[in-house]
Chain A
Amino acid sequence: MEQTSKTPTDRTMQLLNNYRMVDGVADELMDQTGTVREVWSSFLNFFGALSPEDIEKRFAKGNQYLRDAGVFFRQYDDSGSTERDWPLSHIPVILEESEWQTITAGLIQRANLLEDVMADLYGDNTLVANGHIPAELIAKSPEWLRPMIGTKPRSGHFLKLVAFEIGRGPDGQWWVLGDRTQAPSGAGFALENRVATSHVFPDHYSRSNIHRLAGFFKRFRDTLHDLSNEQDCGVAILTPGRLTDTYFEHAYIARYLGFMLLEGEDITVRNGKAMVRTVAGLQPISVLWRRLDSSFVDPLELNEHSILGTPGLADAVRQGNLTMINALGSGVMENRAFLAFLPRICQEMRGEQLLLPNIATWWCGQEQERDHVLSKAETMMFGPALSTTLPFEQNEMFSLLNQQNSDVLRQNIMNSGSDYVAQEAISLSTTPVYEEGILQARPMSIRVFMARTHTGWDILPGGYARIGDNKGTSVIAMQGGGQVADVWVASPKRVERETMAPKTTGFVRTQPEVLPSRAADNLFWLGRYSERAEFTMRLSRAYHARLEESNNPDAALLKHFANYMENLSIEPDEVVPQVLCDTLVSAMGSAGHIRDRFSVDGWTALKDLSDAAWQFKKNTQPGDDCARAMQILLRKISGFSGLVHESMYHYTGWRFMNIGRALERASLMASLLRYFTAPDSPSGALDIPVDIGDSIMTHQRRYVVTTNRETVIDLLALDRLNPRSILYQLTEFREHLEYLPQENKNAQMSELAKAALKLHTELAIKSPETLRPSFLREIEKSIYALCDLLSASYLK
């Protein structure tokens, strides 16, 4: 066996045969002589031993994991935004521990420097007064937030979580390409890339000395918890909402760290303190990890056009009652022109050189600097001084070479130099990706994350690598089709395997659950929409089954049936009603708002259901074909309901979802009965509610006669044991109500509980003979009133 032609070495050689290093740039895998670096050899030998089929299988496993976890990438183009597969390059970037320590030392120094500079810019302003930063640069920056001047952060520090984009230059030296201090994203993505990559190479990963990531997140979580007050309802991530391109990451990391995920409208400010609107009333919170830019946090004092934040939050911060991670106004540190001044400021404030240089930058607002860069324009990239994008993120950097209008640009730089910076064009190192069966070199940069804990700056030993396409080594744009990869920091020694679990032994029960009103509202509506969707499917199935039998849409019963459907805006001619698709879209919308509270399986089931409905809409025929399609959709929605009922913990949110379902089902059944049991209904009409109520067999068993008005009303309105009956659902509703906060306060029934009891009782004491159609109408109206009361008490 050992004599096969494909020994690992041969295969490895084959993989590397076509590995083309780019002239004049460094490479991660190989040194200048083309020798594989020591830190890669173990992985490379392992990888080289895999057959191409095995590699494909492993990659597929990683991709499957990402899809199952709901990781996607939102891409924006002219036609709006679409979700596409997460562009993971399965080959990690591997760095040596000793090199990592050099990077760490440089970035810790830099993080401390940024903290000091920010404290000065919002404090004494000595850097400006002493001429180390031009006043104009700060005053013109839209991220220098005047309402926050003079505010000392409650935690003692402005910056708690920062990220740095770093890249390796041609001489092998690491460079800082940009500082991320506003609301750095990507730590959650780094974690997901790690999990996916370890699914691809589980055997290799588990026995390699790769630094683990969990410890970093655990310490960051503990730090934020320690910053909160005793009486707080928790720590929360403040997200712009589900339409932002990084929302998935927000939901994922909220779940991972056990933080609430809040949007602006979940919060209000009372007496200078931030409060969460929950189903149990307003509850205080004092730590918000914001994932939106500072200026959007408070539309009253900051960006007046923001629709994302909460008015009053800036004041809560100013009064020292709220810690924002990072402090409001931290975006000012991201201004590209800052890179021109930081080296000297470091010297000035700390008496040290920058350990890791940043990309050489000149601010054209200074005459001497401007003349220098214009005279060396061939080696420079120019761009807006106050921009906070990274050098390679957008095409806003330009060269004065080969530009048709370079004279105009040059003149602009002469006239309004303070609006421009120049940066030395830098070539990034390359790293291998696996394409077309071989390893190929692609340019990359790494985002490194650091958090401030009790003991100082803590670095995530890994990171989020972005890999460019093969068009050049200086431009990387994920939006344009690049890839991402995990970053491994390999140690020569055994590494500690950390987990998120707290160190204490025995068992610790976490705090009582806090349910924001908006989340409760979305769960309530998810319950209603999913019930309405199911009802629509049952209607369509029953209609098309009858259509198949009679083949005459003008038959009295079918016309009667069609009329009912039209009343509900269901077009009987449409095989898969538009209303059904719309309802499923709404259900997805509600679920999308609460991704942090909703299992990935539940989400996947819902998405699968919705996709199937749209698919059937394209190619289904009326009659039998449609009835069969509905059958499949009903099975899928039962699968979804099953997941929700069998697997979801019965926390308060689950109750709101079930309340939505119960009230929707009861009111739909009331409307169905009212219509089909009306005295002038055509023959066969009474069978329809029984069919839709999934009760044909029960009816046969319980009543020895065929359907008549009394048996139908008995079974579908008054039966205590039939889950499709109105009475059953009202009982359910009242039971859930018992568990809601604020019910039974001071031993008094709430208005809502009273109204529920009244309706329940009125129905319970009826008999089939005494239940008139007008009473069914009353039930529907009373249910609307119950929804209003519920909403006023809990959902606002």
Chain B
Amino acid sequence: MLYDVILKISYEYEYAATGGRHLLHLMPAHIEGRQHLITGYLDIKPRPNERTDKYDAFNNAVSHVVYYLDHPEISFNLKARIDCLPQNSGLNMSPNLAGLRAELSSINSLAPDSPYHYLGNSPRVRINEAMTSFAYTQINDQMNAISIVENIGMALHREMTFDPEATTVETPAEEAFEKRTGVCQDYTHIMISCLRGIGIPAGYVSGFIRTIPPEGTERLEGADAMHAWVRAWCGIENGWIEFDPTNAMFINTDHIVVAYGRDYSDIAPVKGVLKTYGEQNTTQAVDVIPVKSNELMNL
């Protein structure tokens, strides 16, 4: 499935920000067998004094951007074409929890994809008794890892209420879980904690999702936002699989990956440190446009 993604994130500062430094995880990833990045361009305004594009410890593309002087606003503009490849669901060969533990102990690696990174506490996800017991109530000893992921994901989707007003980007997963409300970031953090709590390595995926407008209505331009979902390690045979708890589904060709991390803090789309006073205003507009292969990219 071929998509054009157009993203614009802008910040306005009441008092001009006095210089600043940002890390950007915005460029869609190129992953063999999962999605191909055909082209991508990230434009930043005003032009930063320094910009370096490189890869982080998890092999995600990251841009370092530095401003020396005051700038009352910044905008990050991404245009990219991505081909999302159909995910062959294949055979479910995943082991049960005890089997998963055994398979895990046969791995001696800290490579970026090693499940060990995703097993313990990370900066924004802590294993927590409430979430762990919730996870245990959804499963039994016979279930294999993939079914467990699905069961827990579906259960969370049933229990949680999607509410953009209830939480902020800083709300801890524990609190969102207690209130059973939140947005994709909260759903994802909660599900990660549930899975890690019972011993399944789980990480955070940030990216884009194709939204299908209600029948008979036009797709609204810029109405989308960036999205987040979970990936879980389900044993040596099946490896990493991705599940979207906000939409209660395993991913296929509707989800475009930007970055993989342990939680939001590893791969926040825009992470910045700058001195500023007073209000700041952020806007985000995303378009995920399905295109045909011969269509020219709209730049």
Interface residues of A (CB under 8 A from B): 125, 128-131, 135-136, 138-140, 142, 146-147, 149, 268-271, 299-301, 303-304, 311-312, 315
B11 to nearest A CB, angstroms?
16
B158 to chain A, nearest CB (A): 28
**Residues in B60-112 with C-beta less than 8 Å from chain A:** 64, 66, 68, 107-110
Bound CA–CA A315/B66 (angstroms): 12
From A147, A304, A312, B21 is in contact (CB under 8 Å) with A312
25 contacts across the A-B interface (CB closer than 8 A): A128-B108, A128-B109, A129-B109, A131-B108, A135-B108, A135-B109, A135-B114, A136-B120, A138-B116, A140-B116, A140-B119, A140-B120, A147-B56, A149-B57, A268-B19, A269-B21, A270-B50, A271-B50, A299-B273, A300-B21, A300-B271, A301-B23, A304-B123, A304-B271, A311-B273
Known: A135-B116, A149-B57, A300-B273. A130 touches B108 (CB 8 A): yes
Cα A11 to Cα B43 with chains together (Å): 84
Q: Considering the complex of A and B, which 3 residue pairs feature the smallest CB-CB distances, nearest first?
A: A140-B120, A146-B57, A139-B116
Give the residues in chain A near B265, CB-CB below 8 Å: 304
**Contact partners of A149 in chain B: CB under 8 A:** 57
Instruction: Report yes or no: B21 in contact with A128, Cβ–Cβ below 8 A.
Output: no
Pair A136/B108 contact, Cβ less than 8 Å: no
Residues of A within 8 A of B273 (CB): 299-300, 311
Smallest CB gap from B261: residue in A:
A146
Decide if A147 touches B109 in the complex (CB within 8 Å).
Answer: no
The interface residues of chain A lying within 8 Å CB-to-CB of B66 are 269-270, 312
- Among candidates A125, A270, A315, residue contacting B64 with C-beta atoms closer than 8 Å: A315
Q: A136-B120, A139-B114, A303-B123 are in contact. List 10 more A-B contacts (CB 8 A).
A: A128-B110, A135-B116, A136-B116, A139-B116, A139-B119, A140-B120, A270-B50, A300-B22, A300-B23, A300-B271
Interface centre among B56, B114, B117, B273 (most CB of A within 10 A): B273
CB atoms of A139 and B108 under 8 A apart: no
- Contact status of A129 and B57, CB under 8 A, knowing A140-B119, A312-B21: no
- Point out the residues of chain A lying under 8 angstroms from B110, CB to CB: 125, 128, 135, 138-139
Q: Which residues of A contact B58 (CB under 8 A)?
A: 146
Contacting residues, chain A, for B108 (C-beta < 8 A): 128-131, 135
Q: Mark B181-213, 1 if CB is under 8 A from A, else 0.
A: 000000000000000000000000000000000
Q: Which residues of chain B are within 8 angstroms of A303 by Cβ–Cβ distance?
A: 123
Q: Given A128-B109, A271-B50, A300-B273, A311 and B117 touching (CB < 8 A)?
A: no
Set of chain B residues within 8 Å of A130, measured between Cβ atoms: 108
Q: Determine the distance from Cα of A149 to Cα of B59 in the docked complex, in whole angstroms.
A: 12
How close is A533's CB to chain B, nearest CB, in angstroms?
29
B121 in the interface (beta carbon within 8 A): yes
Give B107-148 as 1s and 0s: 1 = Cβ < 8 Å from A's Cβ atoms.
Answer: 111100010110111010000000000000000000000000
Which residues of B have CB within 8 Å of A128? 108-110
**Closest chain B residue to A141 by CB distance?**
B120
Contacts of A147 in B (CB 8 A): 56-57
CB distance from A141 to the nearest CB of B (A): 9
CB distance from B276 to the nearest CB of A (A): 14
**How far is it, in angstroms, between the C-alpha of A312 and the C-alpha of B56 when the chains are bound?**
14
Known: A270-B68, A301-B23. A135 touches B107 (CB 8 A): yes
Question: In the complex the two chains form, is B119's CB within 8 Å of A136's CB?
Answer: yes
Once bound together, how far apart are the Cα atoms of A307 and B208, in whole Å? Answer: 32
Selected contact of A139 from candidates B23, B56, B68, B120, CB within 8 Å? B120
Q: Give CA–CA (A300, B108) in the complex, Å.
A: 30
Tell me whether B21 and A139 are in contact (CB under 8 A): no
Residues on A with C-beta less than 8 A from B23 are 300-301
Determine the residue in chain A with the shortest Cβ distance to B120: A140
A709 to chain B, nearest CB (A): 44
Residues of B contacting A131 in the complex (Cβ-Cβ under 8 angstroms)? 108
> Contacts of A135 on B, CB cut-off 8 Å?
107-110, 114, 116
Alpha-carbon distance A84/B121, docked complex (angstroms): 38
- Of A131, A270, A315, chain B has the most CB atoms within 10 Å of the CB of A315
Distance A125 CA – B114 CA, assembled complex (angstroms): 13
Name the B residues within 8 Å of A315 (CB-CB).
64
What CA separation (Å) do A131 and B109 show in the bound complex? 9
Q: How far is the CB of A137 from chain B (nearest CB, A)?
A: 9
Quote the shortest CB–CB distance from B156 to chain A (angstroms). Answer: 23
The minimal Cβ–Cβ distance linking A333 to chain B, given in whole angstroms, is 16
**What residues on B are CB-neighbors of A146 within 8 Å?**
56-58, 117
Residues from chain B with Cβ under 8 Å of A268 in the complex: 19
Complex Cα distance, B66 from A271, in Å, reads 9
Chain B residues with Cβ below 8 Å from A299 are: 273
A303 to B22, CA, bound (A): 15
Minimum CB distance partner of A386 in chain B: B120
Q: Which residue of A lies closest to B111 (CB)?
A: A125
Residues of B close to A271: CB separation below 8 A: 50
- B290 CB to closest chain A CB (Å) equals 35
Cα A139 to Cα B119 in complex, Å, equals 8
CB closest chain-B residue, reference A309: B273
State the CA gap A301–B114 with chains docked (Å).
21
CB distance from B101 to the nearest CB of A (A): 11
Would B109 and A140 count as touching, CB distance under 8 A? no
Q: Nearest chain B CB to A135's CB is how many angstroms away?
A: 5
Complex Cα spacing A135 to B110, Å: 6
Residues from chain A with Cβ under 8 Å of B121 in the complex: 140, 142
CA of A304 to CA of B265 in the docked complex: distance in angstroms?
A: 8
* Chain B nearest Cβ from A363, distance in angstroms: 13
Could you say which residues of chain B place their CB within 8 Å of the CB of A140? 116, 119-121
Instruction: Give the Cβ gap from B58 to chain A, nearest Cβ, in Å.
Output: 8
Cα-based distance from A303 to B271 in the complex (angstroms): 12
CA distance A300 to B21 in the complex (A): 8
Interface centre among A138, A139, A149 (most CB of B within 10 A): A139
Which residue of chain A is the closest to B264 with respect to CB atoms? Answer: A304
B246 to chain A, nearest CB (A): 24
Min CB distance, B197 to chain A, in Å? 10
When distances are taken between beta carbons in the complex, the residues of chain B under 8 Å from A312 are: 21, 66
Bound form: Cα–Cα A176–B21 in Å: 42
Rounded to whole angstroms, the CA-CA distance of A139 and B115 in the bound complex is: 9
A304–B68 CA distance with the chains assembled, in angstroms: 21
A315 nearest CB neighbor, chain B only: B64
A131 vs B106: C-alpha distance in the bound complex, in angstroms? 10
Minimum CB distance partner of B273 in chain A: A311
Q: What's the minimum C-beta distance from B206 to chain A, rounded to whole angstroms? A: 16
A207 to B116, CA, bound (A): 59
* Chain B 6-37 interface 0/1 with A at a Cβ cutoff of 8 Å (1 = within): 00000000000001011100000000000000
Contacting residues of chain B (271-299) with chain A, CB-CB under 8 angstroms? 271-273
The CA-CA distance from A142 to B68 in the complex, in Å, is 31
| Shortest distance from the beta carbon of A126 to any chain B beta carbon, whole Å | 10
**Contacting A311 at CB < 8 Å: which of B21, B56, B109, B114?**
B21
Q: How far is the CB of B169 from chain A (nearest CB, A)?
A: 12
How long is the Cα–Cα vector from A130 to B108 in the complex, in angstroms? 7
Bound: A131/B114 CA distance, A: 15
Complex CA gap A129/B22 in Å reads 34
Which chain B residues lie closer than 8 Å to A301 at the CB level?
Answer: 23
Rounded to whole Å, the gap between the CB of B2 and the closest CB of chain A is 33
What separation, in Å, do the CA atoms of A147 and B116 have in the docked complex? 16
Residues from chain A with a CB closer than 8 A to the CB of B19 are 268
Q: How far is the CA of A138 from the CA of B111 in the complex (A)?
A: 12
Q: Distance in Å from the Cβ of A556 to the closest Cβ of chain B?
A: 46
CA distance A372 to B164 in the complex (A): 51
User: Which residues between 140 and 194 of chain B lie within 8 Å of chain A, taking CB atoms?
Assistant: none
Q: Which residue of A lies closest to B57 (CB)?
A: A146
Chain B nearest CB from A97 CB (Å) reads: 44
CA distance A149 to B68 in the complex (A): 28
Bound state CA distance, A139 and B262, in angstroms?
11
- A127 nearest in chain B by CB position: B108
Give, as a whole number of angstroms, the nearest-CB distance from A166 to chain B. Answer: 31
Question: For B271, what are the chain A residues with a Cβ–Cβ distance below 8 Å?
Answer: 300, 304
Give, as a whole number of angstroms, the nearest-CB distance from A633 to chain B: 37
For the complex formed, measure the closest distance between the CB of B106 and the CB atoms of chain A, giving whole angstroms.
Answer: 10
Measured CB to CB, the closest approach of chain B to A277, in angstroms, equals 11
- For the complex, give the distance between the alpha carbons of A128 and B116 in Å: 12
